[in-house]
Amino acid sequence: MEKNDFLHFVITEPIRDILVSGYVDLQNIPVFHPLYERIYLIFDQIKIEICVGDESKIIFTVIENIRQWIDVDEDDLFSVMSIYSLVFKTEQVIRIISAACGDSLLSGLKLKYIDGEAERCVTFDPKNFFGFSFE
């Protein structure tokens, strides 16, 4: 999906969930270890994978299913986890009112949204060594 198509789409369709992939360490008490290199936005009709490509720019890819993209140890299990409430600071449905992503290397994705009466902003910053961070 082209960047401009994504930026338009995200303000016209409600985000149902945001997922991060990772693995569950099954030894002792199972613990999920998130890997923020890929973030998945879930909409009613499609899923969009967000990651940083080889050219250090954010790539938006429409996917059918979330597939295992890392090798895990025999005693680990690939998994996903919702981070919707962590990102948007609410469990309520939010409405994106604007979206921006620069053209320069390692530019972040900035989403401005409305949560009830409050206007908020979240930025997916790709400059983190461990993948996206959000603030």
For residue range 50-85, what is the model confidence (pLDDT) as tens digits? 998 888 889 999 999 999 999 999 889 999 999 999
The residue that leads in pLDDT, 130 or 71, is: 71
| Domain limits, the chain | 3-134
Both tokens of 105, joined, read: 């290397």
Q: How far is CA 122 from the centre of its chain?
A: 11
User: What pLDDT does 129 receive?
Assistant: 67
Burial of 76 (0-12, 13-18, 19+ CB in 10 A): middle
DSSP 3-state of 28: coil
Q: Residue 116: which region, alpha, beta or left (left: phi > 0; alpha: psi -120 to 50)?
A: left
In terms of Cα–Cα distance, which of 24, 17, 59 is closest to 38? 59
Whether 37 contacts 133, CB under 8 Å: no
